[in-house]
Amino acid sequence: MVRFGTVIMRRRELIAVLGMVAILPRAVCAQQANQFRRVAFLLGEATEDDPEYERRISAFVEALRGLGWIDGRNLRFSVHRVKPNAADLRRGVAELLAEQPDVIVSGGGTTTPPVLQATNTIPVVFTTAIDPVGSGLVESLSHPGGNVTGFMHFDYSLSGKWLELLKQVAPATTRVGVVRDAAQTSGIAQFAVIQSVATSFGADIIPIGTRDANEIESGMAKLARFPNAGLIATFGAAVNGHRDLILELVARYRLPAVYANRSFVHHGGLISYGADTIATTRRAADYVDRILKGEKPADLPVQAPNKYEVVVNLKTAKALGFELPATVISRADEVIE
């Protein structure tokens, strides 16, 4: 027998106790590991390490940290970057689901549908969905239903505003190229809205696809052969992925152009109109926090942007030889000089 103070233990009992002590650190570690919550972010990123998407991730992580969720302390946060095509999206979703995340964060019409096709139980929060009701992502804005909710980037009707803005910037424009992803419902719908209002603005519309650089280059070259031509770049992962090429061609052909994404203007584009993708991604952290604390996506209404912004690059206007109307500049939310 072995005596410990007033407690007398047999050798066999002592061995059992020592064995429990030996495994205690592993048990504690396992318990701590179980305290981690898992959040996975899926990006349809056509260009590797695109600064636009990196800023979205940073804004989201910063917002989560402000809510008390810190990667490595009580959170396991992973980012899955995939090309915005069907095969890569399926692979990315499968890899993401293998991590068994507690919440999945997606973008919009490119990444959200394949996630919802793969799971109807794991909560999903989208950050930049276009017309989520019309796209079939949710049942309604106030009562999303199912396992998904999030933040709407805009509804399709806003697409007509880009043509209106283009005519304000360059009133003589009569032929308009529209860069859109014809493989996505959102790309088709944005083009359709622009086409539906074209007659009222006295414009003919030319579609420009985004399958590869050659399709964009040939489409832009065809557009540039017409007098009084202009361009609209719609919103979508494939369009964003060709941002630098589109901007290069616009500058080469000296075209007035309106963009759906302000990142184009920050990289030398003329003017944009739309919601701030960084801001909506940051707001998504609040929904992730609420879901991790027990709320259900079906009970969290889809939120619209706080506002839509006009961003103008006067340096680009000067380089292209455009004199922007004072009315356009005066209502701009950001002016780059």
Domain positions in the chain are 36-153+277-299, 157-275+309-336
Which whole number is the average pLDDT over 303-315?
Answer: 93
CB 191 within 8 Å of CB 222: no
In the predicted model, what is the mean pLDDT of the chain?
A: 89
Query: pLDDT at position 84, please?
Result: 86
Question: Could you give the percent of the chain with pLDDT greater than 90?
Answer: 75
CB 107 within 8 A of CB 67: no
Residue 29: predicted pLDDT: 41
First to last CA, the chain: 86
Q: Which residue has the higher pLDDT, 20 or 151?
A: 151
Amino acid at 75: L
The pLDDT value given to residue 317? 93
Mean pLDDT along residues 180-191: 92
Find the radius of gyration of the CA atoms of the chain.
26
Reported as a pLDDT band with limits 50, 70 and 90, residue 11 is: very low
Q: In this predicted structure, what is the pLDDT of residue 237? A: 87
- Give the Å distances, CA to CA, from 165 to 174, 215, 268, 271: 13, 26, 18, 9
Interval 170-192 mean pLDDT: 94
Q: Which residues pair with 44 in a beta bridge?
A: 82
Structure tokens at 106: 């997606």
Task: For 213-227, give one letter per residue: b (16+ CB within 10 A) or e.
Answer: eeebbebbeebbeee
Q: Does the pLDDT value for residue 20 go beyond 90?
A: no
Question: Is the confidence at residue 44, as pLDDT, over 80?
Answer: yes
In single-letter form, the type of residue at position 218 comes to S
Q: How far apart are CA 260 and CA 239, in angstroms?
A: 10
Give the length of the chain.
337
Whether this prediction's pTM lies above 0.85 is answered by no
The predicted pLDDT at position 18 comes to 42
pLDDT at 8: 40
Residue 46: its pLDDT value, please? 75
Q: Which CATH architecture has domain 157-275+309-336?
A: 3-Layer(aba) Sandwich (3.40)
Q: What CATH code is assigned to 36-153+277-299?
A: 3.40.50.2300
In this prediction, residues 29-37 reach a mean pLDDT of: 59
Task: Judge whether residue 141 has pLDDT over 50.
Answer: yes
On the question of pLDDT at 180 being above 90, the answer is yes
For residues 64 and 21, give the distance between their C-alpha atoms in angstroms, rounded to a whole number: 37
Residue 49 binned pLDDT confidence (cut-offs 50, 70, 90): confident
Q: Is the pLDDT of residue 23 over 80?
A: no
**CB 258 within 8 Å of CB 231:** yes
Q: Looking at residue 31, what is its pLDDT?
A: 39
Q: List, in sequence order, every residue forming a beta bridge with 101; answer none if it has no partner.
A: none
Q: In this predicted model, what pLDDT tens digit does every residue of 80-129 receive, in sequence order? A: 999 888 899 999 999 999 999 999 999 988 899 999 999 999 999 999 99
Residues of the chain above pLDDT 70, percent: 90
More confident residue, 71 or 5: 71
Q: pLDDT of 235-271, one tens digit each?
A: 988 898 899 999 999 999 999 999 999 999 999 999 9
pLDDT digits (tens, 9 = 90+) for 283-305: 999 999 999 999 999 999 999 99
Band (162; pLDDT cuts 50, 70, 90): very high
